[in-house]
Amino acid sequence: MRAKKDAKTGKWYIRFRYTDWQGKRRESMKRGFETKHDAEEWLRTFLSEQKADLNITFADFTQMYFNGISPRLRENTLRTKHYIVDLKILPYFGAKKINEITPANIIAWENEMLSREYSQTYMKTVYNQLNAIFNYAVRYYDLRSNPCAKAGAIGKNKAEEMNFWTKDEFERFVECIADKPISYSAFNTLFWTGLRIGELMALTPADIDFKAKTLTVNKSYQRLGDRDVITPPKTPKSNRIISIPDFLCELLKEYCDSLYGVGENDRIFPFTKNYLHHEMKRGCEKSGVKRIRLHDVRHSHCALLYELGIPPLEIAERLEHERVETTMQVYAHLYPNKQEKLSAKLEELMKKENKDDE
């Protein structure tokens, strides 16, 4: 089954026999390759997809999975799936043979996810994606069983009530870490912009326009093993330019001016998530403010905007929520006294109308 060159077209073709997924022997030919290597590489991939024993790596099968589902999904949905798989799943399972992954392997991965303080709904989303890949292998490629079924699921479909800081709580916290400019600048940026942690850690001097008073968000940072990984943001809508208040602009300008030898495209917050966890703990212990998750600082920003009366659509655009309903469902109940204030306004309206009738 060696590739041959078509004398008329100058292209390569390859004729081959194979056993399909139903066990039937078939003969076929594929034309139009630029090189002999391309033709033979295509055949190796094609034959691996026909094997029922799935004696291939999880990474190779994942590519087959995406090839199979891509035509049926919207581009945005597909990109989100790739983001989850590439960053949360492949680093753990990519090199393993898919038919050798056990429930114990799944449980070890789940424990790692649980240790990272992701939200319950996010962990459920990541787990569902892993489960979907194994279900695809069982359904279409005769994998004996799905190891996720025995390991059990993690996360929850419905979000629990979120923790967050009010403005007063944040100010008490941040004053207790002001002795470290890098921490003080980082947490102020998180609270007053609503950036994700990865977006914060990917910021460079080139992303800050001090004249226009804006931040450009176009990438995210993660530490995977011993590697620094810069990726596109979570979704296409995550690419955005957000305005920042004068005081934050001045704070970031002073901080950036204090950095030595940092180029326009170097990270201005060159730490990992573990550093932020440590500083969160230190600041909470010194200030007495309740401990929240790092991601909850983003929730705190959203809750503050809602309390200030910013329309949900504007909040959704700033935080790049795909649907404004997400903003309404997640944040509308957060700030204390919101319902009381609403009732007070209705009471004030009624009193005014009664007075006008007198």
Out of 7-21, 178-192, 226-240, 339-353, least confident range: 339-353
- Contact between 84 and 122 under an 8 Å Cβ cutoff? The reply is no
Tally DSSP H helices, then E strands, for the chain: 16, 8
Q: Report the pLDDT value the prediction gives residue 329, as an integer from 0 to 100.
A: 53
- In whole angstroms, give the CA distance from residue 153 to residue 92: 17
- Packing angle between helix 296-307 and helix 324-331, nearest 10 degrees? 90
Res. 223: pLDDT tops 80: no
Res. 324: pLDDT tops 80: no
To the nearest 10°, report the CA torsion of 216, 222, 223, 228: -50
Q: 323: which 2 tokens? A: 């649907």
- In whole angstroms, give the CA distance from residue 51 to residue 177: 57
Res. 358: pLDDT tops 80: no
User: In which band, very low, low, confident or very high, does the pLDDT at 48 lie, cut at 50, 70 and 90?
Assistant: low
Q: Which domains does the chain have, with CATH numbers?
A: 4-50 (no CATH), 74-151 (1.10.150), 167-338 (1.10.443.10)
User: In which band, very low, low, confident or very high, does the pLDDT at 76 lie, cut at 50, 70 and 90?
Assistant: low
- Packing angle between helix 75-84 and helix 120-141, nearest 10 degrees? 100
E-assigned strands of the chain?
A: 4-5, 12-19, 25-33, 208-209, 214-217, 220-224, 227-231, 240-243
Res. 159: pLDDT tops 70: no
